[in-house]
Amino acid sequence: MGTMVEEKIYFPVSDAAKPLFVGMNFGGTYLKIGIIDSEGRTVSFFVTPHHGELGPDAATKHAAQALKEALEKTGTTLSSIVAAGYSFPGALDPKTEQIHRPPNFPDWAGYPIVAKLSEYTGLKTVTFSNNANAAAYAEYWVGASKGTQSSCLLLLDTGIGCGIIVEGREIRGANGFGGEFGHMVVDPSPGARWCGCLRQGHLEAYCSSLAVARRTKELVEVGHPTSLKDKITPQDELFDIARKVYEEADNGDNLATHIILDTARFLGLGIVTLLHTIDPECVLIGGEMMFGGKGSKIGDMFLAQIREVIEHRAIRGLGQHLKLDFAALGPFASMIGAAGLAREEAAMFSVVEG
């Protein structure tokens, strides 16, 4: 296995639509590397520890080495790769091309990731994107918002990751923070909840899995009758609590159902502002907290509640044709989208057609 902890070849590289691209996704613990063809299909994918804790340069050298190994195992060479995209849980300053200080890896601040990855891999075209933007692009390219003109993605995890794609382009912003609408204000009151960014009243403080877990614990502790009381243990991680809220709602528990509907109401408020700002054709909900997802009783109830908020709060008729749905690509989205955004960049410089 070499440096890989997981690897899979989906189909022979001879069957892939050329040219090929590379998508790299720096996630919670691992770096995912995908060889992606021109139609957005994953030819092969590999997983290796990201080694971010060793510092940016050691991690980037490791990424380049792992890519070399991935290409060999896929049966292809660097010369068949037109561009590579790198997605990361942070932002890049578009002027200096250096990473802004990431909350979890402060020593990555100022690292010129694009130049270094290009140097260590030997690839001329390397692009950087935020993980959520890359995931949004993947859904737009080959996922749940394929064929739309504009699409927004909200990833409900410990925080809220967001990405906006308009006519095939991600919104990066002047400082690399474009599309960070998880931090829009939905509660201006002095007692508003605190967000992970240490400001009050942001959407993330009400709709992330951390927020759901916190609200759940509070409501259970004050003695609301609920089946959750016997299910939640002190050992539970936040995702465990969020999952249990879904499970108990699915079993008909009133408090659990109330918590989910409340989450949908706050999310609806955020999405209303998004509609007034972008007027997107599609809004997708993804991440680890999807409440059973599409077609499930609770998932459908969640989307219906968001729609109700839109109907009451948005300019009349604005949400009528909105496609509101769950994301389709799951944990592979950022890897595929990173390759897709690299392909866009390469196309802009006429390296490839289309």
Residues near Zn ion (CB under 5 A) are: 183, 195, 197, 202
CA distance 223 to 258: 15
Shortest distance (Å) from residue 101 CB to Zn ion: 16
In the complex with Zn ion, the residue whose CB is nearer, 9 or 197, is: 197
Q: With contact defined as beta carbons under 8 Å apart, do 203 and 183 qualify? A: yes
In the complex with Zn ion, the residue whose CB is nearer, 59 or 195, is: 195
In the complex with Zn ion, the residue whose CB is nearer, 206 or 326, is: 206
Shortest distance (Å) from residue 199 CB to Zn ion: 5
In the complex with Zn ion, the residue whose CB is nearer, 89 or 299, is: 89
CA distance 248 to 232: 11
289: helix, strand or coil: coil
In the complex with Zn ion, the residue whose CB is nearer, 63 or 210, is: 210
Shortest distance (Å) from residue 131 CB to Zn ion: 17
The helix (run of H) or strand (run of E) holding residue 10 is: none
Shortest distance (Å) from residue 183 CB to Zn ion: 4
CA distance 37 to 3: 23
**What DSSP string runs through 79-148?**
GGEEEEEEEESS-EETTTTEE---SS-GGGTT--HHHHHHHHH--SEEEEEEHHHHHHHHHHHHSTTTT-
15: helix, strand or coil: helix
Shortest distance (Å) from residue 251 CB to Zn ion: 33
DSSP category for residue 344: H
Q: What number of CA atoms fall less than 13 Å from residue 123's CA on the CB side?
A: 30
Question: Which residues are CB-contacts of 195 (< 8 A; sequence separation ≥ 6)?
Answer: 183, 201, 202, 204, 205
In the complex with Zn ion, the residue whose CB is nearer, 205 or 228, is: 205
Residue recorded with tokens 């044709």: 321
Shortest distance (Å) from residue 136 CB to Zn ion: 19
In the complex with Zn ion, the residue whose CB is nearer, 67 or 186, is: 186
Shortest distance (Å) from residue 196 CB to Zn ion: 6
Residue nearest to Zn ion (CB): 195
